[in-house]
Amino acid sequence: NDAEQKQFKDSAVNKWLDDLKDAVYVADDILDHISTKAAISKNKKVSTNYISRFFNSEEREMVCKLEDIVARLEYILKFKDILGLQHISIDHSSWRTPSTSLDDGSNIFGRDQDKEAILKLLLDDGNDDDAKISVIPIVGMGGVGKTTLAQSVYNHDSVKQKFDVQAWACVSDHFDEFKVTKAIMEAVTRSACNINNKELLHLDLKEKLTGKKFLIVLDDVWTDDYD
Each residue's pLDDT tens digit, 15-45: 998 899 899 888 888 888 888 877 777 666 5
| Average pLDDT taken over every residue of the chain | 82
**What is the reported pLDDT for 56?**
67
Residue 107 has pLDDT above 50, yes or no: yes
**What is the reported pLDDT for 128?**
57
Residues with Cβ within 8 Å of residue 178, at least 6 apart in sequence: 198, 201
Mean pLDDT of 192-197: 90
Please indicate whether residue 185 or residue 140 has the higher confidence score (pLDDT): 185
**What is the reported pLDDT for 171?**
85
**What is the reported pLDDT for 139?**
85
**119 pLDDT band (50/70/90 cuts)?**
very high
CA–CA gap between residue 16 and residue 18 (Å, rounded): 5
Q: Is the pTM of this model over 0.85?
A: no
Percent of the chain, pLDDT > 70? 81
**What is the reported pLDDT for 155?**
92
Half-sphere exposure of 11 (CA within 13 A, CB side): 0
**What is the reported pLDDT for 93?**
47
DSSP bridge partners of 167? 216
Half-sphere exposure of 186 (CA within 13 A, CB side): 14
**What is the reported pLDDT for 48?**
46
Q: Where are the domains of the chain?
A: 2-83, 111-219
CA–CA gap between residue 190 and residue 149 (Å, rounded): 23
Contact call for residues 193 and 201 (beta carbons, < 8 A) = yes
Residue count (the chain): 227
Percent of the chain, pLDDT > 90? 32
Residue 224 has pLDDT above 80, yes or no: no
CA–CA gap between residue 162 and residue 207 (Å, rounded): 20
Please indicate whether residue 48 or residue 66 has the higher confidence score (pLDDT): 66
**221 pLDDT band (50/70/90 cuts)?**
confident
**What is the reported pLDDT for 94?**
47
